[in-house]
Amino acid sequence: MSEHRIAMVGTPCEIMAASKLQHYTDSPIDVKLGLFCMENFSYKYFVTLLKEYDLKMDDIEKFQIAKGFVFLLLKTKETVKIPLSVAQRIIRKNCNICVELTSETSDISIGSIGSEDGWSTLIIRTQKGEEIVNGAIEQKFIEAKDFNESQFNLLNKIAESKISKNLETIERREFLARPVLYQRDKSDDSILKDIFESNFMDLKSNVIDVGACVLCGACEYACPYDLIKIDDTKPIMRSECHEDCHTCFTVCPRTFIPEDLRNDNSKPIGDYIKVLSVKSLKHTQGQDGSIVTTLIDYLLNNDIVTEALIVDKEDHLAWKPYAKLTNAIDEVVKSGGTKYSVCPVFKPLKDIKEEVD
């Protein structure tokens, strides 16, 4: 067993992959900090879109999505607004079948929807998450206040909107004979039966080839034979799949979801213990009031976790995201902010896996 205890930050699909890794494997992920997410963009197509505005990624200091626009704060201190109706064409296809806004299988979910400026919305989902939040409040890492009814109604409304819209997309896809496996209502016994009959070729035909892959890298990380590689756009198999191996299909967040992890679409924000508005008392740099950075600081400071799995941006390639493991809070602070593109978030865990093996 690994001695690593990792706090992971991720979007709903990445958190679902982490939850499946915990469910089916011996995972080093111990704490899941989930982000609110409507959709993500293709880095390649984002670069192309910016050309229409005579901009490059290097020109941008900060991204933000709000009130129907992508706001680009430039290094010149100017702000450029791109309507979301225009940006729709660079959204990754897999986002259109996601029915989660608030990372429902995380320990703690964090976002900005519902809270006033300078505050973040925080959803406590597990006992572990509650202990972390209470500890962070007691040690004055964060300040918290109750989420009021109007704030809750707004959060629910936006979550319901995403579910409704994307369930329609799922229905259209399935009308074209493209099954969306992760939304299937199946018993755990039935799921296990299908898993033992599936391998990478089934993952390829049911997820990758139909534009449902979230590029999280769970398949690459979990493959016991190191046969899967993530290129810039999708997972590829470097050799023939072992006949008795089903791991990649098992851990993918877009294949069948076990019963205790499955989304209940009648609950817009999923199951939870408590919803709060919170403000950081330690950090100011980052997305959503720096709450993610502050919680990681608390976790590392108290030796609750040994490292954090975060997404930073490349120094030599502006805003290109990449995943990294760190126990240095200054690196966590540096990584704060939004990239609005995906990357294989589990890739850094491969070194830990090899160390244990």
Residue pair 283/336 in contact by the 8 Å Cβ criterion = yes
Residue 357, CB-side half-sphere exposure with 13 Å CA sphere: 13
pLDDT at position 1 over 80: no
How sure is the predictor about 357, in pLDDT bands with cuts at 50, 70 and 90?
Answer: low
Condensed to tens digits (0 to 9), the pLDDT of residues 161-193 reads 999 999 999 999 999 888 999 999 999 999 999
Q: What sign does the dihedral 306-309-313-316 (CA atoms) show? A: positive
* 171/210 Cα distance (integer angstroms): 14
Rounded average pLDDT over 190-217: 95
User: What pLDDT sits at residue 284?
Assistant: 78
User: What pLDDT sits at residue 314?
Assistant: 81
CA 52 to chain centre: 29
Condensed to tens digits (0 to 9), the pLDDT of residues 40-94 reads 888 889 999 999 999 999 998 888 777 788 888 899 999 999 998 898 899 888 9
What are the angstrom distances between the C-alpha of 337 and each of 134, 140, 151, 301? Answer: 25, 22, 23, 21
Structure pTM?
0.93
What are the angstrom distances between the C-alpha of 61 and each of 10, 74, 240, 337, 355? Answer: 22, 5, 44, 10, 38
The conformation of residue 204, written as its DSSP 8-state character, comes to I
User: What pLDDT sits at residue 304?
Assistant: 97
- Residues in the chain, overall count: 357
Q: Which residues of 152-257 form beta strands (DSSP E)?
A: 228-230, 235-237
User: What pLDDT sits at residue 111?
Assistant: 93
Rounded average pLDDT over 108-123: 93
Whole-number average pLDDT of the chain: 92
H or E segment to which residue 325 belongs? strand 321-326
